[in-house]
Amino acid sequence: MQCVVNRRAQFSASHRYWLPELSEAENVEKFGACSRFPGHGHNYVLFVSLVGELDKYGMVLNLSDVKQVIKQEVTSQLDFSYLNDVWAEFQQTLPTTENIARAIWQRLAPHLPLVRIQLFENSELWADYMGNGMEAYLTVSTHFSAAHRLAHPNLSNEENFEIYGKCARPNGHGHNYHLEVTVKGEIDPRTGMIVDLGALNQVIEDYVVEPFDHTFLNKDIPYFAEVVPTAENIALHISNLLRSPVQDLGAKLFKVKLIESPNNSCEIYCTEPESNIVSAAQNQPALIGL
């Protein structure tokens, strides 16, 4: 039986986004504060995912051996380093989160049966790499606060209370929503980026955070006048709002995850045409509340 196991590691390092062929003004315009000399640092958290058959001892691999490989090939070299100089790869392609993840895969692949490298730059930015050439995934997280009421407009109050319980109370209730947006794209061989991170953050701010934050969703967001603002439908609407703007940035929207509370979250994988998903959401009342 095959099993995927995950090993966590960490390292602290600094880096700088700077292309010598660009002027100072061009670097600042392209990379913002990340272009500042001599660089800035992060406490990186690394997850190495491995796949294999369980042996007679109930293990895919001896994790002590895995730990030593990760230390020898990655963390001992990157910890307390200036990433731009430590590996030759980063002199040609900048050490962005997604490119570091790809470089780590290349270092570990000869030694371990990898299925994924996940690298957290911080709690609001991480990358996933699965060994597919220059393709990688980048996730940014943010939050907004909003109120909603779960009540389908075509049902009576009694019917809504039967379906949604206390979430159907007339005055609604609120949440601190945590939003994760994952995009997929090709790593640029020079900048190391699959998308302009500043532009992506601005798109999320303009299309989601600013319009949704501190609102009563049923009344303030026209879409939810007829669609019940469950976590599922909110995530679905956000995915449809972001598809085209993300594509305009040269990447593809891959997933939207909305965490409504510590006990309730949902994920929308953006693999179907928008029209098919929208029609399904509008025609069927969601039955999952808090």
Which residues are identified as catalytic?
167, 214, 260
Tokens standing for 8? 């966590």
Contacts of 162 (CB under 8 A, 6+ apart): none
Residues 46 and 11: their CA atoms lie apart, in Å, by: 8
DSSP string, 220-241: HSGGGGTS---HHHHHHHHHHH
- Residue of 91, 90, 188 lying closest to 138 (CA atoms): 188
Spell out the alpha helix ranges (H) of the chain: 24-31, 63-70, 76-78, 83-86, 89-92, 97-108, 157-164, 197-204, 210-212, 217-220, 231-248, 274-283
Respond yes or no on whether the N-terminal peptide bond of residue 38 is cis (omega within 30° of 0). Answer: yes
Tell which residue, 95, 133, 93, 113, has the closest CA to residue 49. 113
Task: Say if residues 13 and 43 touch (Cβ distance below 8 Å).
Answer: no
> Helix (H, G, I), strand (E, B), or coil: what is residue 289?
coil
Mind giving me the DSSP string for 85-121? Answer: HHSTHHHHS---HHHHHHHHHHHHTTTS-EEEEEEEE
CA distance 117 to 48: 5
Closest CA to 195 of 129, 241, 250, 270: 250
Tokens of 275: 């029209």
174 near 231, Cβ under 8 Å? no
